[in-house]
């Protein structure tokens, strides 16, 4: 995904990626490599979402146009500023003392945690995006994907007792039935729901990306 003056193009890129990940998810269910593939899907889902949110922010502070033709503007960022300056504005909101590299670029570790909805809303509010109210609405659905996906991803990326315990708690929180391992949390049935947790998450991320770009 790349920054775009047209949020419709950004939305389409994100949607295509989440659809591909969902196809991989379905194919994995009958594969001997099920756990490895689903671990990849989980890690990529969070990475895709973080990349989308970063591109979304940078597109918005560049005065982009939404899918319905609404011009997005920022009260505290000049559209004439270059890429590194726009990244720096977000960095200084979450880490006021951070400094750029010699070439003006920024360490990605200093940037906001783009997949964190609370951190993202903080940046959008501080920078004065004209569509901040719509962004707040997009994250008010009640979906736990923005918190729980991170927890499961961390288990697959950093396997230890602590991440294992946290991942299993996600299963309990989401009423997953019969989960004995983190992979089961993603695939086992849930009380009162017809689809698995991972399928639900991919759908929620795709819908939220679409909503943000309307």
Which tens digits make up the pLDDT trace of 89-142? 999 999 999 999 999 999 999 999 999 999 999 999 999 999 999 999 999 988
pLDDT at residue 173, as a whole number: 96
Runs of H (alpha helix) within 29-174: 34-60, 83-94, 117-127, 132-138, 145-157, 161-173
As given in the structure block, the two tokens for residue 187 are 């695939």
As given in the structure block, the two tokens for residue 111 are 């940037």
Q: Is residue 45 part of a domain?
A: yes
Q: Is residue 155 part of a domain?
A: no
Mean pLDDT, residues 142-155 taken together: 96
pLDDT at residue 79, as a whole number: 67
pLDDT at residue 80, as a whole number: 73
Mean pLDDT of the chain: 95
Nearest to 148 by CA among 94, 205, 95: 205
b/e burial code for range 185-210 (CB count within 10 A of at least 16 → b): bbbbebeeeeebbbbbbbebbbebbb
Q: Is residue 105 part of a domain?
A: yes
Q: What are phi and psi of 50, to 5 degrees?
A: -60, -45
Q: Is residue 175 part of a domain?
A: no
Q: Is residue 165 part of a domain?
A: no
Which tens digits make up the pLDDT trace of 44-88? 999 999 999 999 999 999 999 999 999 999 998 776 789 999 999
Q: Is residue 35 part of a domain?
A: yes
Mean pLDDT, residues 36-45 taken together: 98
Range of the domain at 30: 7-145+196-213
> How much of the chain, in percent, has pLDDT values that exceed 70?
100
Q: Judge whether 25 and 38 are in contact, CB under 8 Å.
A: yes
Number of structural domains in the chain: 1
Mean pLDDT, residues 190-197 taken together: 93
Q: Is residue 26 part of a domain?
A: yes
Distance between alpha carbon 4 and the CA centroid of its chain, in Å?
17
Q: Is residue 179 part of a domain?
A: no
Q: What is the 3-state secondary structure (H, E, C) of 3-47?
A: CCCEHHHHHHHHHHHHHHHHHHHHHHCCCCCHHHHHHHHHHHHHH
pLDDT at residue 60, as a whole number: 96
As given in the structure block, the two tokens for residue 127 are 């920078």
pLDDT at residue 186, as a whole number: 97
**146: confidence class by pLDDT, cuts 50, 70, 90:** very high
């Amino acid at each position: 995904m790349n920054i775009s003056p047209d949020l419709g193009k950004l939305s389409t890129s994100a949607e295509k990626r989440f659809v591909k990940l969902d196809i991989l998810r379905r194919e994995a269910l009958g594969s001997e490599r099920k756990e490895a593939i689903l671990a990849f899907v989980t890690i990529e889902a969070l990475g895709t979402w973080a990349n989308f949110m970063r591109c979304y922010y940078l597109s918005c502070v560049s005065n982009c146009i939404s899918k319905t033709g609404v011009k997005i503007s920022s009260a505290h960022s000049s559209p004439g500023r270059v890429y590194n300056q726009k990244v720096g504005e977000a960095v200084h909101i979450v880490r006021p003392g951070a400094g750029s590299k010699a070439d003006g670029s920024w360490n990605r570790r200093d940037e906001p945690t783009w997949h964190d909805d609370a951190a993202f809303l903080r940046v959008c509010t501080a920078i004065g995006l004209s569509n901040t109210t719509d962004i707040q609405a997009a994250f008010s659905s009640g979906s736990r994907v923005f918190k729980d996906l991170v927890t499961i991803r961390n288990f697959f990326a950093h396997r230890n007792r602590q991440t294992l315990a946290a991942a299993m708690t996600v299963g309990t929180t989401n009423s997953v039935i019969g989960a004995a391992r983190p992979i089961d949390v993603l695939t086992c049935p849930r009380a009162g729901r017809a689809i698995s947790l991972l399928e639900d998450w991919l759908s929620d991320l795709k819908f939220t990306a679409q909503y943000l770009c309307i």
